[in-house]
Chains A and B, each alone.
Chain A
Amino acid sequence: MNQSLIEVHDLRLGYTRKRVIDGLSVSLRRGEWAVIAGRNGAGKSTLLRALAGVLLADGGSILRSAEATPEKIGFISDRFSLFEDWTVTRAIGFHCRAFGIGSFDDGLLRRVGIAGKTRIHDLSAGERAIVHLSLALAQRPSLLLVDEVLHVLDPFVRDLFVGALIEAIAVRQAAVVTVNHVFSEIERLPDRVLVMEAGRFAVDAPPDELRAGMKKVIGREPLPQALPCLFSRADGEYKEYFIHPFQEEMRREHGLDFQDVALGEIIKAFIGGGYERKRMA
């Protein structure tokens, strides 16, 4: 369960002069679902591409374990890169040959109703996501990298998609790394949340820990100096304060209404959505 699949050390990567990832380190383990969040341009997709081997590091290292060979890394890009003129059948055949796959399970395709003779460029974004997922799952991946695709899926397909990811984790102990902006649908699913900021992870924690450690206080009065405030936001005459790290004794000491914060809201605060940061996390 805790075997490290990939160890990233001091990763540096950029396009021309702009450095997108700057000294990032992380370790990904088998059987965990890690969600990467961050503002647009924070380097989430760049990191996924680096893990998939599409982008190569300018510095630092990405050490893959013997189980994370290129054949065992499935990558679903938000670009849905595949040869557009090909039919689904041809793409599957090619993929199986290239990755040495013996048998291909087309269950997902059938459930969504994707015909084999359909050309890739005729598929909708959601259908492409399912085709890519089917291809990636056929590799029996130990690491499944899913860029920001969940938001393009309709509720039915999204359930299928997420279900397949959960199955991959449960049955094959695959590590799943997804990039997400919308958390309402997967609030309870990830084992780990990683928030990218300035080319590295500002947050790397389990969601429960995040939720437990952060509470919200809303009021007109200024917050007592003793309370550790991480973010604040003004909403008319009321102010909203994010207390971090929260401890239960604070309720008794200050008599304030410490409210729970949704994961999406926490991440929104971290990526700067109208919040003023009081100190570094």
Chain B
Amino acid sequence: MSGKEWREVGRQSLYFLLAAAGMVLLAIVGDRLSHTPISGERIAILLGLWLLMFSMFMGLSPFAMDSKQKGMEYLLTLPYSRRRLLLIKLLPRLAAVILFYLAFAAFYGLAGNAAFGGGFTVFSLTCFALFLISFSLAVVHENFIIQSLWAGVALCGYLALCLWVCVLGFAWKFDMPASWIEPRIWAGLSYDTPTLLVSIAVFMLLATPFIVSFFLAFKKFDLKPARTFNRRQFRLFLPQLLVACAVAMGVTYLVQSHSPGWEPRHFLLSGQRLLKADFPGKLTLFAEDGRRAVDTKSKVSWARLLLEQERRLFMSGFDRHDGSRIIGYLDKTDLSWKVLHRIPRTYAVANGDLGIRFDGANFVYLYSRPTEQGGLAEGVRPSGAFSAMHLVWVDPASGQSKTLGFQTPSGGRNNEPWLMGSDECNGRRYWLVALRGPSVLRLWADGRCEELGLSERIPVYAGGLLFTFRRGSLVVIRLLESGIEIVKEIPGNFGMGNPYFFSLGDGQASEVYAERDERIVRIDLATMSIDDVGPARGFLHRVPPGDFYFVEFENWPPQSNDKWNKLYRLKGGRMILLKQFDFNEAGHGYLIVNANGVEMIQSPVKDGKVAKATQRFFAFPDLRELRFKGLD
């Protein structure tokens, strides 16, 4: 009997495999005909959908062939118990789904690992849940299409329930109302280890009633009309679902409410001090001779250190009391805390916390909202479209703010604009904004919006020049009062490091460093000459106001057995080795460089498992390691 099932599943899998191969072939031919490069991501999406179909088919098919071949009655006369019969049906199909899932996961890892936008966990859980749900509905109706409809409806209900429990989990974890949790968090079920484990538990617990009720009801399966069986299964299913739901919520509450939503964040300060930011609203200022704790008496989750002035530390964060984003400062002398500016929850700030930037004079950010009057009603989420954007600047001294509205010329496709530069021209300030596309806009303080052109990737503004990317070249542009002037087009495949490392006020730089064809080069901003500096086996770091560093990795690309990183300063066309940072144990490690020093983060890998990350701090100028008492 089991031989029959394995053969049947093998044959059906082969048909699906051939169908998948045909589908991929068509996609490749389509790409070839339209002269576009073959997209691994697109193929991954196609195969992902195919895998979901396969899971559903495998789940619904156990008795389809027997029924089609008029063998159901004969099947029930065989000397097997009903449950054994069901197991014989289940095992080969589960094995096929696991096999195809593993094959898909391997392909996904190789070719299309951005295809699901971080939602691979959801996809994986859905894939197996769909199989189990479909299997539990294998005898719901004789018609396969109606069976599929039932499976689809059940899956939707199941996913909605899972989402609801997981969102509640996030609400408990972050200690804020569930209505504030973005639906996008659904794609982030692997947010952290507790969330991942809870998500898996929730998916499994809520899938259990389907499969258990089916097994229990199947004990009395016979050839009576399907609705008799369905009624019996439903009577078993409903109380189990309620219990599973209660258990899932209980497990979620226990795990999520006791695991921190945010890990503490550390910011290396001037004077060889360190700021540790905890939730809720706790700050601790560490010096090597002691520490001072500050309770801001707020429910703020700290996001970033925006600016360090002599007395003040400006920070941004998310206030879980009312859902607003805040800009505030800590007075380093008297340890008083003040909120300078509050951004309502209903405003969609471009790039979230990363989008709040300092332009040398003010904090600046962009936000969208669908109407000009009064923002959104409570509970209504912004659309996220930046066809009309608003630029706000906030004076760090007084907290006073001013808002400018812009109608962008490119319409609704402008999601997540990135504020990438700021400067003045004849005493008039402007800001440069890269839109996804990406095109570049110049927003003038008088409300004008000027479109400057396109770039293959997010451009960089440094030394009063705009560096835009074309395929195979870097185009250096000077911004005039009206329009642009192309200074030089430099051939090569360029990269200028992470654009988020560039500050807005970089007008005085005399040189910039970039990667070109796996080499580091220096671009002299006065002469536009290019000098080769060395091999690019690592990452470029730009540290405001105009310093460049390079972090070299032992292996490139980084490996899990790396033992060191080397830090170089790039100046005058030379790579000056500052220090070799040896990791305690082999594993994932990297350096974060800022104006005050280096944070070394290590995640040792033991037996293939990544251990909890640890941090060490090294202060400029000599990169001496700092040790703070009481710091975990």
Q: Do A and B come from one complex?
A: yes
- List the interface of chain A (C-beta within 8 A of B): 15-16, 49, 52-56, 69-71, 73, 75, 77, 79-86, 94, 97-100
7 A-B pairs in the complex with CB atoms less than 8 angstroms apart: A54-B222, A54-B223, A70-B77, A70-B78, A81-B71, A81-B72, A82-B74
B33 within 8 A of A: no
Residues of A within 8 A of B80 (CB): 98
Q: Looking at chain A's contact residues, is the secondary structure mostly helix, strand, loop, or mixed?
A: loop
The one of A56, A69, A79, A94 that contacts B79, using a Cβ cutoff of 8 Å: A69
Tell me the minimal C-beta distance from B372 to chain A in angstroms.
Answer: 62
B71:A16 contact, CB within 8 angstroms: no
Q: How far is it, in angstroms, between the C-alpha of A268 and the C-alpha of B4 when the chains are bound? A: 45
Tell me the minimal C-beta distance from B72 to chain A in angstroms.
Answer: 7
Q: How far is it, in angstroms, between the C-alpha of A228 and the C-alpha of B349 when the chains are bound? A: 100
Residues of B within 8 A of A49 (CB): 73, 222-223
B397 within 8 A of A: no
Residues of A within 8 A of B69 (CB): 83-86
B1:A98 contact, CB within 8 angstroms: yes
Take A69-B79, A70-B79 as given contacts and tell me if A81 and B74 are in contact as well, using a CB distance cutoff of 8 Å.
yes
What 4 A-B pairs have minimum CB-CB distances, sorted nearest first?
A81-B73, A70-B79, A81-B74, A83-B71
Q: How far is it, in angstroms, between the C-alpha of A204 and the C-alpha of B66 when the chains are bound? A: 37
Chain B 416-451, CB-CB to A under 8 Å as 1, else 0, gives 000000000000000000000000000000000000
- Closest B-chain residue to A100, C-beta based? B79
Within 8 A of A (CB), among B60-89: 66, 69-74, 76-80
B79:A71 contact, CB within 8 angstroms: yes
Given A49-B222, A84-B70, 10 further pairs, Cβ under 8 A: A15-B224, A15-B225, A16-B227, A49-B73, A52-B77, A54-B73, A55-B224, A79-B70, A82-B71, A83-B70
Take A81-B71, A82-B70 as given contacts and tell me if A54 and B228 are in contact as well, using a CB distance cutoff of 8 Å.
no
A94:B4 contact, CB within 8 angstroms: yes
B76:A83 contact, CB within 8 angstroms: no
Q: How far is it, in angstroms, between the C-alpha of A111 and the C-alpha of B240 when the chains are bound? A: 57
A75:B77 contact, CB within 8 angstroms: yes
- List the interface of chain B (C-beta within 8 A of A): 1, 3-4, 66, 69-74, 76-80, 220-225, 227-228
The one of B66, B222, B225 that contacts A16, using a Cβ cutoff of 8 Å: B225
Q: How far is it, in angstroms, between the C-alpha of A82 and the C-alpha of B72 when the chains are bound? A: 8
A54:B225 contact, CB within 8 angstroms: no
Tell me the minimal C-beta distance from B42 to chain A in angstroms.
Answer: 38
Tell me the minimal C-beta distance from A56 to chain B in angstroms.
Answer: 5
Q: How far is it, in angstroms, between the C-alpha of A94 and the C-alpha of B66 when the chains are bound? A: 14
Q: Looking at chain B's contact residues, is the secondary structure mostly helix, strand, loop, or mixed?
A: loop
Q: How far is it, in angstroms, between the C-alpha of A20 and the C-alpha of B78 when the chains are bound? A: 24
Tell me the minimal C-beta distance from B141 to chain A in angstroms.
Answer: 15
B78:A98 contact, CB within 8 angstroms: yes
Tell me the minimal C-beta distance from B228 to chain A in angstroms.
Answer: 6
Residues of A within 8 A of B79 (CB): 69-71, 98-100
Residues of B within 8 A of A83 (CB): 66, 69-71, 74
The one of B70, B77, B220 that contacts A56, using a Cβ cutoff of 8 Å: B220
Residues of A within 8 A of B225 (CB): 15-16
Residues of A within 8 A of B3 (CB): 97
Residues of A within 8 A of B227 (CB): 16
B71:A84 contact, CB within 8 angstroms: yes
The residue among B66, B69, B220 with the most chain A CB atoms within 10 A of its own CB is: B69
A16:B228 contact, CB within 8 angstroms: yes
Q: How far is it, in angstroms, between the C-alpha of A70 and the C-alpha of B1 when the chains are bound? A: 16
Take A54-B223, A71-B79 as given contacts and tell me if A79 and B73 are in contact as well, using a CB distance cutoff of 8 Å.
yes
- Closest B-chain residue to A74, C-beta based? B77
The residue among B69, B77, B79, B221 with the most chain A CB atoms within 10 A of its own CB is: B77
Residues of B within 8 A of A85 (CB): 69
A54:B77 contact, CB within 8 angstroms: yes
Q: How far is it, in angstroms, between the C-alpha of A86 and the C-alpha of B74 when the chains are bound? A: 13
Q: How far is it, in angstroms, between the C-alpha of A94 and the C-alpha of B4 when the chains are bound? A: 8
Residues of B within 8 A of A15 (CB): 224-225, 228
Residues of B within 8 A of A16 (CB): 224-225, 227-228
The residue among A79, A84, A98 with the most chain B CB atoms within 10 A of its own CB is: A98
Residues of A within 8 A of B4 (CB): 94
Residues of B within 8 A of A71 (CB): 79
Residues of A within 8 A of B70 (CB): 79-84
Q: How far is it, in angstroms, between the C-alpha of A52 and the C-alpha of B72 when the chains are bound? A: 13
Residues of B within 8 A of A75 (CB): 77
Residues of A within 8 A of B77 (CB): 52-54, 70, 73, 75
Q: How far is it, in angstroms, between the C-alpha of A15 and the C-alpha of B70 when the chains are bound? A: 20
Q: How far is it, in angstroms, between the C-alpha of A98 and the C-alpha of B2 when the chains are bound? A: 10
Residues of A within 8 A of B73 (CB): 49, 54, 77, 79, 81
A55:B74 contact, CB within 8 angstroms: no
The residue among B76, B221, B227 with the most chain A CB atoms within 10 A of its own CB is: B76
- Closest A-chain residue to B71, C-beta based? A83
- Closest B-chain residue to A135, C-beta based? B74
Residues of A within 8 A of B1 (CB): 94, 97-98
- Closest B-chain residue to A72, C-beta based? B79
Q: How far is it, in angstroms, between the C-alpha of A53 and the C-alpha of B222 when the chains are bound? A: 8
Q: How far is it, in angstroms, between the C-alpha of A240 and the C-alpha of B222 when the chains are bound? A: 45
Q: How far is it, in angstroms, between the C-alpha of A217 and the C-alpha of B19 when the chains are bound? A: 75
Residues of B within 8 A of A94 (CB): 1, 4
Q: How far is it, in angstroms, between the C-alpha of A23 and the C-alpha of B73 when the chains are bound? A: 24
Tell me the minimal C-beta distance from B281 to chain A in angstroms.
Answer: 64
Tell me the minimal C-beta distance from A65 to chain B in angstroms.
Answer: 16
A56:B222 contact, CB within 8 angstroms: yes
Residues of A within 8 A of B221 (CB): 56
- Closest B-chain residue to A99, C-beta based? B79
The residue among B3, B78, B224 with the most chain A CB atoms within 10 A of its own CB is: B224
Tell me the minimal C-beta distance from A53 to chain B in angstroms.
Answer: 7
Q: How far is it, in angstroms, between the C-alpha of A82 and the C-alpha of B221 when the chains are bound? A: 19
Tell me the minimal C-beta distance from A120 to chain B in angstroms.
Answer: 8
Residues of B within 8 A of A55 (CB): 222-224
Tell me the minimal C-beta distance from B63 to chain A in angstroms.
Answer: 12
Q: How far is it, in angstroms, between the C-alpha of A56 and the C-alpha of B78 when the chains are bound? A: 14
Tell me the minimal C-beta distance from A97 to chain B in angstroms.
Answer: 8
Q: How far is it, in angstroms, between the C-alpha of A80 and the C-alpha of B227 when the chains are bound? A: 25
Residues of B within 8 A of A69 (CB): 79
The residue among B4, B73, B228 with the most chain A CB atoms within 10 A of its own CB is: B73
